[in-house]
Structure 1
Amino acid sequence: MSENLLTLAGVHTHIGAYHILHGVDLAVPRGQLTMLLGRNGAGKTTTLRTIMGLWRASQGRIAFAGQDITQAATPRIAGLGIAYVPENMGIFADLTVKENMLLAARGARHARQMDDQRLQWIFSLFPAVEKFWNHPAGKLSGGQKQMLAVARAIVEPRELLIVDEPSKGLAPAIINNMIEAFARLKASGVTILLVEQNINFAKRLGDTVAVMDNGVVVHAGSMRALAEDEALQHELLGLAL
């Protein structure tokens, strides 16, 4: 069994008067791609934001690489080697693709100071980033913005990449490109946690899976086992994969 890079134990999150997470238990094995599935409103995005410290856990424990990060500030969490791509991608529309990348490269003050070898690797994953290097990010298509968002998250080496619905609203051809890119990222040793609604995306990429409902994880196991059990799919998700 793989060592768990990230674990959540009994995590509760309140947002104002609302109790969103009701004791989430989640394990993300090192070097694997974990899918976080569930119906709309199940608590998936809240779980990601709680991991990143954007919303604070009111109870429970979050550990990353053996360190307790439950009450850590977001900058410290990011500094430990966790990158987060939110559902809205967080692109700076008025800046160029290059400027968006430079902002994320904390060790560089100028584009020429960015790690050229790493940039070339990123360009091989996401050719659109290189093609539109000097274009305003706001002019990119939805798929190109998603590629930029992921590229920006990995402009520096990361141990864990967390991405919220990377395939949302994308054309099938772009989704296939994203699947290939995530597969290569995983092969490079990056641990990945993905929230996803596209079931084909989940089936093709996932090693392990956790399914959420009403603010708790109601199922955890191998993605392959879930993909092969149609009755369990209906029970957990209300649909067949």
Structure 2
Amino acid sequence: MSDNLLTLSGVHTHIGAYHILHGVDLAVPRGQLTMLLGRNGAGKTTTLRTIMGLWRASQGRIVFNGQDITALPTPQIAGLGVAYVPENMGIFADLTVKENMVLAARGARNASAIDQERLQWIFSLFPAVEKFWNHPAGKLSGGQKQMLAVSRAIVEPRELLIIDEPSKGLAPAIINNMIDAFGQLKAKGVTILLVEQNINFAKRLGDTVAVMDNGVVVHAGAMKELAENEELQHSLLGLAL
């Protein structure tokens, strides 16, 4: 089996009249955390949504765990062990934290049917999820909503976790908490693909990195290499990490 859990080859995506992705080639190594970086509008979110089948690739091929998923509907892709946390977090504001978690644990009809050992592990990562268990999710702070969104994604074991800007708008203490959580997930063998604007976050967590610009991947390699090369950072991102 390939060392890459997910591979995109020549992927194009059109949204209406707009041609957003122009032949994306991306490899996500198994068991590693891959950072997807790039300026605003480079095509990062479109890439994630295309992987999940929320937007359909108009050309190219997406392979997950040896299976071609290019034309699969989103529920089938999720059923293969892929979890997606969108930038807007996708939680149900009118439901309680508990009800959000039960919905995400597809095999559970109620909270007691959730794997309790896994739930306690999630509580240890994100104490706010336990603290506000019976509160409406819509009343949570931005950081607490992000913790809930990630908790929902990992309430069942997943092969691949895809997350769009998890640190956006979060306080430094919560960002550190999030970094610790992703570190623990990686240690458990979960493969993670992360879009992130917080460069510190990227440097501390990333194993590999792909940089996008104008709908294509313009650089791919080790995160360490990019983090240590200011000239490369300027040319790719217009800034120094």
Shorter-chain-normalised TM-score: which range? over 0.9
Report Cα offsets for 1:68-90 as digits up to 9, x if no partner.
00000000000000000000001
Shift of 1:110: 1.2
Structure 2 matches for 1:1-241, cutoff 5 A? 3-241=3-241
Gaps (5+ residues) in structure 2? none
Shift of 1:54: 0.1
With 181-190 and 206-215 compared, the bigger mean Cα shift is at 181-190
Shift of 1:208: 0.1
Letter in 1 for 2:154: I
Aligned-partner Cα distance in 2 for 1:146–1:187: 21
Aligned-partner Cα distance in 1 for 2:207–2:38: 16
SS in 2 for 1:163: strand
Letter in 1 for 2:186: K
Percent of pairs with identical residues: 88
Letter in 2 for 1:44: K
* Aligned residues between the structures: 240
With 124-133 and 156-165 compared, the bigger mean Cα shift is at 124-133
Shift of 1:91: 1.1
SS in 2 for 1:162: strand
Shift of 1:172: 1.0
Report Cα offsets for 1:193-227 as digits up to 9, x if no partner.
00000000000000000000000000000000000
Letter in 2 for 1:163: I
Gaps (5+ residues) in structure 1? none
Shift of 1:161: 0.2
Aligned-partner Cα distance in 2 for 1:171–1:105: 28
Report Cα offsets for 1:132-163 as digits up to 9, x if no partner.
11111111110000000000011110000000
SS in 1 for 2:224: helix
SS in 2 for 1:54: coil
With 210-219 and 106-115 compared, the bigger mean Cα shift is at 106-115
Find runs of 4+ consecutive structure 1 residues off by over 3 angstroms.
none
Aligned-partner Cα distance in 2 for 1:202–1:109: 37
SS in 1 for 2:194: strand
Letter in 2 for 1:52: M
Q: Give the structure-1-normalised TM-score.
A: 0.99
